[in-house]
Amino acid sequence: MPGVMDIKRKIKSVKNTQKITKAMKMVSAARMRKAEEAMTNARAYANKIYELVGGIAGRVEADSHPLLVARKDVKNVCLAIITSDKGLCGAFNSNVVKKTLAFARENQDKNIKLICIGKKAFDFLGKKEFEVLEKYVSFGGKITYDEANEIGDKLVAYFLSEDVDEVHIVHNEFKSTAYQVAKVTKVLPLVLEKQEETADTTDYIYEPQAEALLKEIMPRYINFTVFFSILESIAGEHGSRMVAMDNAARNAGEVITKLTLTFNKARQSAITNEILDIVNGAEALNG
Amino acid sequence: MAETVRLELVTPVRQILSEDVDEVIAPGVEGDLGVLPDHAPLLTALRVGELAYRIKGKLEYVAIVGGGFLEVNNNRVIVLADDAELGHEIDLEEAVQRKLKAEAALERERKADEKTFKAVEIELMKELIRVQIAEKYKGAK
C-alpha cells in the first residue's frame, strides 16, 4: 500500500490537471461562440453566392469556363486538408487524417498531392509518402478572408496549370458543438447544380454577359468555399476541444474521488497501527 | 407599385446593411447605375467604388473596397462585396494616413514588375475611395 504522503501528492497533481482542463474548456467555449458567430455572419453571403452561381450556371454552356471542365483522364488529385494547429481536441484531427488515408486507399491509381492547412495535417501526413504542395500553419485559430483568398487562388492556379486534375477539400463539417463529421468535398472542377428555371430568374439583365460574370464569380466562389470550410473547421475544433476537456475534467474528478478514498483508508490504517503499537507497549509494561 | 427597395449588403465576414431605401446608386463595372423601386431583375459585377443609397430623402454612402456583385430581384437589392465599410464608420484621419502609405508604396513599386504595380494601384484606389467617403461625413461628426 502506497504511503499517505504519496497519495496526497498524487491527489494534488490530479487536481492541478483538472484545473487546467476546466480552464481550457472555458476558453474553448468562448472561442467557439466567436467562431460560430463568424460562421453565422458568413452564412448570409454563402446562401447568396451559391444561389447566384447556380442561377447563372443554368444559362451558360458547361464548358464555357476552364474551372468547369471535367478532365477525362484524372491522374493527379489535390487534397486540401484542413485541421487545427493544436491538439487536445479529441478525435477531431485524426478523423480528418483517417478520411484522407481512406480516400488515398480508394484512389490508389491516382497520384495524390496535399495542401496542408493547419499544423496537425502536416505533422501526420507530411511524413507519409504523399507529395506536399503547400502548407499553411499557425493560423492561431483565426482566419481572415484575405488569407483564405490566398489559399483559394493557389488551388485555382494548381488546377489551371494542370498540375492537378481535381481538387478536393477534406475538413470537419460543423454539425453541432459536440458533433463534427469529416468530409471530402470536390471543389474543382466545379459541379454546378442547375436550378430550375422559374419565371423570375429567366429574364435577368446581365451586365456584362453571363459568361463574363461567371468568370468574376467563379474564383470568389472557390475562395469563399475555402474560407467557409476553414471557419467550420475552427468552430469544430473548439467545439471538439470543449467536449474533450469536459470529459477530461470529469475523469479527473473520478480519479480524485478514488484517490481520496484510498488516502482515507491508508490514514485510517496508519492510525489503527499506531494505536495498536501503544496498546501493545502498555500491555507489555503491565506484563 | 412599391415605395422602397430592400437593400442588403453582405460581405463574407458580416452583414453590413439591411434596410428599406428609396434609391441605390452602385458602381457597376460598366458604369454607375441607379436602382429605383420596381427595377427589372438584374445581375452585375461591381468595381471598387462608392455605393450610395437614399433613405428618407437623405443620401448615405458606403465604400465598396474589393469589388463584388449586385443583384436586383423583386424589389430587393443584394450586394455581395468582398469588403465594404459604412461611410460614417471610416475615420478620416486614419483613412488619409493609409492613403499616403498606399501612395508611397505605389511610388516604390513603379519600377518593379507590372503585376505588383497593378496590385498596389488597386490598393491605392481603395484608400482613395475611403478618403473620399470619409470626407463627405466630415461635417456630420
Which CATH number fits the domain that encloses residue B17?
2.60.15.10
Instruction: Look at the block and give the residue holding cell 501526413.
Output: A125
CA angle A235, A238, A244 (to 5 degrees): 140
Residue B45 and residue B103 share a domain? no
Give chain A positions within 8 Å (CB) of B40.
Answer: 203, 205
What local confidence, expressed as pLDDT, does residue A2 receive? 65
* B80-104 per-position pLDDT tens digit: 998 888 888 888 888 888 888 888 8
Contact check, Cβ <8 Å, A220/B73: no
> Residues B45, B103: one domain?
no
Residues B30 and B79 reside in one and the same domain: yes
How far B119 CA sits from the closest chain A CA (Å)? 14
Tell me: do B80 and B112 sit in the same domain. Answer: no
- Please indicate, yes or no, whether residues B44 and B63 belong to a single structural domain of this protein: yes
| H helix or E strand, kind and range, residue B94 | helix B92-109
Shared domain for B81 and B99, answered yes or no, is no
In terms of Cα–Cα distance, which of A110, A49, A109, A127 is closest to A76?
Answer: A110
Residue B141 lies in a domain: no
**A213 vs B33, B45, B73: nearest CB:** B45
Question: CB neighbours of A217 closer than 8 A, spacing ≥ 6?
Answer: A49, A52, A53, A56, B69
Domain span at residue B33?
Answer: 5-87
Q: Give the model confidence (pLDDT) of B1-24 as tens digits.
A: 678 899 999 998 888 888 899 999
Of B71, B87, B103, the one marking the end of a domain is: B87
Chain A, nearest residue to B77 by Cα: A48
Based on the domain organization, do B70 and B125 belong to the same domain?
Answer: no
pLDDT band for A195, please (50, 70, 90 cuts).
low
Residues B82 and B106 in one domain: no
Q: Quick one: pLDDT at residue A199?
A: 45
How many beta-carbon contacts under 8 Å exist across A and B? Answer: 72
Biggest CA-to-CA distance, chain B: 56
Residue A171 or A143, more confident: A171
Of A23-27, A129-133, A199-203, B112-116, the range with the highest mean pLDDT is A23-27
Q: What is the total count of domains within chain B?
A: 2
User: Three-state DSSP class for A6?
Assistant: helix
Smallest Cβ distance to B80: which of A49, A203, A208?
Answer: A49
A143 touches chain B (CB under 8 A): no
Round to whole Å and give the CA distance between B78 and B15: 11
**Closest chain B residue to the Cα of A46, Cα to Cα:** B12
Cβ-contact B129, B49 below 8 angstroms: yes
Where does chain A have alpha helices with state H?
A: 4-57, 92-106, 119-125, 145-160, 199-202, 210-286
Q: How far is the C-alpha of A275 from the C-alpha of A280, rounded, in Å?
A: 8
Lowest mean pLDDT among A173-187, A190-204, A249-263: A190-204
Mutate to test the interface with B, among A36, A47, A48 (most CBs of B within 10 A): A48
pLDDT in tens, A94-153: 999 999 999 999 988 888 888 888 888 888 888 887 888 888 887 666 788 888 888 888
**Rg of chain B on CA atoms, in Å:** 16
Query: Would B50 be classed as within a structural domain?
Result: yes
Q: In order of start, what are the domains of chain A with their CATH numbers? A: 25-243 (3.40.1380.10)
* Closest Cα in chain B, distance from residue A206 (Å): 5
Indicate if B78 and B99 belong to the same structural domain: no
In chain A, which residues have their Cβ closer than 8 Å to the Cβ of B43? Answer: 52, 55-56, 204-207, 213
Which residues from chain B sit within 8 angstroms of residue A212, using beta carbons?
Answer: 45
Cα B133 from Cα A109, distance rounded (Å): 57
Considering the domain architecture, whether residues B63 and B97 belong to the same structural domain is answered as no
A145:B14 CB<8 A? no
Q: How many CA atoms within 13 Å lie on the side-chain side of B60?
A: 18
Rounded Cα gap, residues B16 and B6, in angstroms: 13
Same domain for B99 and B35: no
